[in-house]
Structure 1
Amino acid sequence: MSFLKISNLRKSYGALEILKDINLEIEQGGFLVLVGPSGCGKSTLLNTIAGLEPITSGDIAIDGRSVSGLHPSKRDIAMVFQSYALYPNMTVAGNIAFGMEIRGVAKEERDKAIKQVADMLQIGHLLERKPGQLSGGQRQRVAMGRALVRDPKLFLFDEPLSNLDAKLRVDMRTEIKRLHQRMKTTIVYVTHDQIEAMTLATKIAVLKDGVLQQFGSPAEIYNNPANTFVADFMGSPAMNLLKGKVETNGSGLAVSLARHQAEPLVLSVPNAPGSLSAYSGKDVIFGIRPEALTDPDGADRNARTVAEGDCLIEVVEPAGADTFAVTHLGGKEIVARLRADVRITAGQTARLAFNLDKAVFFDPASQLRIA
């Protein structure tokens, strides 16, 4: 049974519809990440779960009980905000204990809870400091500690790491992941950072313009995107999406990709799904991730179908563990992810390997996945 269930949820401000028929559910102990570009509705959705925004229609149930009409204080949730929302005149200990104090929790019990979360978050040495004396990462830990002492049914995180620098974001991401593994609590987490979504989530919901584009595990979202928006949004570098044409190749199918000042590159797709056959002779959008487009020696040895072709390399970008190469195919600039020690220079023609097990095809009109 799902622990958090969102059914046919709609949210409007007058004639402006922000959330459009959202259906989601997550099991107890799951980590649901709401991801999408700015203005897609993810924070509004989080606020409706919290009760900070009323819903226009639909339902939200937590642990089998509808909470749609309940005040936020009655929902048994705790929220961690992007802005930390700490009281500047209180110590760290005072900030963590404030909610318990308001609820009339005995001092002995408060002190015990403060010590427990301070040890867990490694902020015991900061308990007597004021928020103004803390770094951004320390403030975020205090904000998390204040939520943790509540021991709620559901934790809500609203872009909690967006104010931190890049290295601290990675460190705090690991801390949140470790915390979830230890406590096995149910979390709903909002971010615009797809790397954060991929590393933290057990389930990801991708939103665009208030519409749920795809809901699934990180692997499903990454490997089997439902449409070109999800394919392009999830992944860094993004999936290469280029114009191609499906052709019959003997008893099988092939995809033809235009090359600059050269004959088209034709890649056989021997294990093509039946749904692609209907596009024979028609244009498609061919999608392949940079790591599935590499130098032949770096190709996946377990792949069933690897096709090779010569491409003019325009830009080479060494990136430590990898080398990225930029070329043109299908009328678009695309990125290949090569081994770090590969010998390749800009301006030369190089042979690239396409792992077609990882290729996906989209309809150019609907932008939906064909196969």
Structure 2
Amino acid sequence: MSFLQINELHKSFGATHILKGINLEIEEGGFLVLVGPSGCGKSTLLNTIAGLEPITSGEIRINGNQVNDLHPSKRDIAMVFQSYALYPNMTVGQNIAFGMEIRGVPKAERDKAIADVANLLQIGHLLDRKPSQLSGGQRQRVAMGRALVRDPQVFLFDEPLSNLDAKLRIDMRTEIKRLHQRMKTTIVYVTHDQIEAMTLATKIAVLKDGLLQQFGTPAEIYNDPVNMFVADFMGSPAMNLVPATIVTEGNKLAVKLDRGERQPILLPLSGGPAGLSAYNGKKVIFGIRPEALTDPDGADRNASQLATADCHIEVVEPAGSDTFAVTALGGKHVVARLRADANVKPGTTTPLAFNLTKAVFFDPESQNRIS
């Protein structure tokens, strides 16, 4: 049964329509990540769940109970902000205990809760320090500790890692995932970082301009994007989106990729979406992830559709565990992800293997996926 449900939620600020009929649900203990570019409405959606913003229409239910008109203090939620929002004049222990003290929780119970949370977050040695004496990562742990002692029904995180440096973000991301696995709490997490979304979520909601573009598991979002926006937004490097033409090669369809003055590449399709036959002789957008375009020795041997073509390499970018190579197809720069020791040099022609099992196709006008 769904633990958090959002039904046909609309939110307007005056004449500006911010959220446009959002429908989402997450099971108890799930980790829902709201992701999208700045201004897409994800923080506004989080604030409506928290009760910090009233909704214009629709319904929000937590554990089966409608909370539309409940004050934030009555919703049994806890929120972790981007800015940490710690009291500078209080110690770490006092910051964690403050909410419990306001609610009249007995001191012995408060002390036990603080000790438990401090042990969980490994901040026991920081309890007597002030926030000004802490690093960014330590402050974020304290902010999380203050939320955890509440033991709420739902945790809300509003871009909690955006103020941290790159390495600390990765460390804290791991800590949040470990914490969720141990406590099995229900979390709604806002980020614009799609790597955070992919690594943390049990379900991802991709938003753009106040509209829900796609809702599903990380694997569904990554492998089966419903439109070009989701395909381009999720993944690092992003999916290659290449203008192409569907043609007939023998008695099969094929993908034709132009290369300017060079001979076009023809990639025969032994499968593909049923709707693709309606595009025979027409333009499509050919989508393929960088890892599905690689050197032949590094290609997935279990793939049912592999096609190899000679490609002119323009740029080579060694990246430690991988090597990225850039070629030009369909008038676009296309990124291939090769093995670290792949013998490829800029200015040369080398065979690349296309894993067409992983390819997706989009209508260039609607930008929706062809199925």
TM-score (norm. length: structure 1): 0.99
SS at the partner of 1:128? coil
2:356 counterpart of 1:349:
no
Q: 1:251: Cα distance to partner?
A: 2.4
SS at the partner of 2:205? strand
Q: Give 1:81-120 correspondences, 5 Å limit.
A: 81-120=81-120
Task: Provide the C-alpha distance between the structure 1 equivalents of 2:126 and 2:86, rounded to a whole number of angstroms.
Answer: 14
User: 1:157 maps to which residue?
Assistant: 157
Unpaired runs of at least 5, structure 1: none
Q: Is the 8 A contact 1:11 1:56 kept in 2?
A: yes
Amino acid aligned to 2:226 = A
Task: Provide the C-alpha distance between the structure 2 equivalents of 1:250 and 1:263, rounded to a whole number of angstroms.
Answer: 19
SS at the partner of 1:278? helix
User: 1:198 maps to which residue?
Assistant: 198
Q: Is the 8 A contact 1:34 1:188 kept in 2?
A: yes
Task: Provide the C-alpha distance between the structure 1 equivalents of 2:183 and 2:267, rounded to a whole number of angstroms.
Answer: 49
User: 2:51 maps to which residue?
Assistant: 51
SS at the partner of 2:89? coil
Task: Provide the C-alpha distance between the structure 1 equivalents of 2:122 and 2:359, rounded to a whole number of angstroms.
Answer: 45
Q: Is the 8 A contact 1:255 1:269 kept in 2?
A: yes
Q: 1:248: Cα distance to partner?
A: 1.6
User: 2:80 maps to which residue?
Assistant: 80
Q: Is the 8 A contact 2:288 2:358 kept in 1?
A: yes
User: 2:250 maps to which residue?
Assistant: 250
TM-score (norm. length: structure 2): 0.99
Task: Provide the C-alpha distance between the structure 1 equivalents of 2:139 and 2:322, rounded to a whole number of angstroms.
Answer: 35
Amino acid aligned to 2:308 = E
Q: 1:250: Cα distance to partner?
A: 2.2
Task: Provide the C-alpha distance between the structure 2 equivalents of 1:260 and 1:202, rounded to a whole number of angstroms.
Answer: 43
Matched residues, number? 371
Q: Is the 8 A contact 1:29 1:185 kept in 2?
A: yes
Task: Provide the C-alpha distance between the structure 1 equivalents of 2:106 and 2:166, rounded to a whole number of angstroms.
Answer: 40
Task: Provide the C-alpha distance between the structure 2 equivalents of 1:253 and 1:65, rounded to a whole number of angstroms.
Answer: 52
User: 1:210 maps to which residue?
Assistant: 210
User: 1:133 maps to which residue?
Assistant: 133
Task: Provide the C-alpha distance between the structure 2 equivalents of 1:160 and 1:60, rounded to a whole number of angstroms.
Answer: 23
Task: Provide the C-alpha distance between the structure 2 equivalents of 1:249 and 1:3, rounded to a whole number of angstroms.
Answer: 51
Q: Is the 8 A contact 2:155 2:185 kept in 1?
A: yes
Q: 1:263: Cα distance to partner?
A: 1.4
Task: Provide the C-alpha distance between the structure 1 equivalents of 2:122 and 2:347, rounded to a whole number of angstroms.
Answer: 52
Unpaired runs of at least 5, structure 2: none
Amino acid aligned to 1:183 = M
Q: 1:272: Cα distance to partner?
A: 1.9
Amino acid aligned to 2:116 = Q
User: 1:286 maps to which residue?
Assistant: 286
SS at the partner of 1:90? coil
Task: Provide the C-alpha distance between the structure 2 equivalents of 1:324 and 1:206, rounded to a whole number of angstroms.
Answer: 27
Task: Provide the C-alpha distance between the structure 1 equivalents of 2:138 and 2:280, rounded to a whole number of angstroms.
Answer: 58
Q: Give 1:149-188 correspondences, 5 Å limit.
A: 149-188=149-188
Amino acid aligned to 2:184 = K
Q: 1:16: Cα distance to partner?
A: 0.4
Task: Provide the C-alpha distance between the structure 1 equivalents of 2:62 and 2:275, rounded to a whole number of angstroms.
Answer: 39
Per-residue CA deviations over 1:179-236 (Å, capped at 9, x if unaligned) read 0000000000000000000000000000000000000000000000010000000000
SS at the partner of 1:272? coil
Per-residue CA deviations over 1:304-338 (Å, capped at 9, x if unaligned) read 01001111100000000000000100110010000
Q: Give 1:271-282 correspondences, 5 Å limit.
A: 271-282=271-282
Q: Is the 8 A contact 1:231 1:239 kept in 2?
A: yes
2:368 counterpart of 1:368:
yes
User: 1:18 maps to which residue?
Assistant: 18
User: 1:61 maps to which residue?
Assistant: 61
User: 1:299 maps to which residue?
Assistant: 299
Task: Provide the C-alpha distance between the structure 2 equivalents of 1:269 and 1:28, rounded to a whole number of angstroms.
Answer: 42
Q: Is the 8 A contact 1:253 1:272 kept in 2?
A: no
User: 1:337 maps to which residue?
Assistant: 337
Q: 1:249: Cα distance to partner?
A: 2.0
Question: CA-atom RMSD, angstroms?
Answer: 0.5
Per-residue CA deviations over 1:284-313 (Å, capped at 9, x if unaligned) read 000000000000111001100100111110
Per-residue CA deviations over 1:61-107 (Å, capped at 9, x if unaligned) read 00000000100000000000000000000000000000000000000
Identify which range, 185-194 or 264-273, moves more after superposition: 264-273
SS at the partner of 1:9? strand
Task: Provide the C-alpha distance between the structure 2 equivalents of 1:51 and 1:39, rounded to a whole number of angstroms.
Answer: 19
Q: Is the 8 A contact 1:121 1:141 kept in 2?
A: yes
SS at the partner of 1:303? coil
Q: 1:274: Cα distance to partner?
A: 1.3
SS at the partner of 2:141? helix
Q: Is the 8 A contact 1:79 1:156 kept in 2?
A: yes
SS at the partner of 1:238? coil
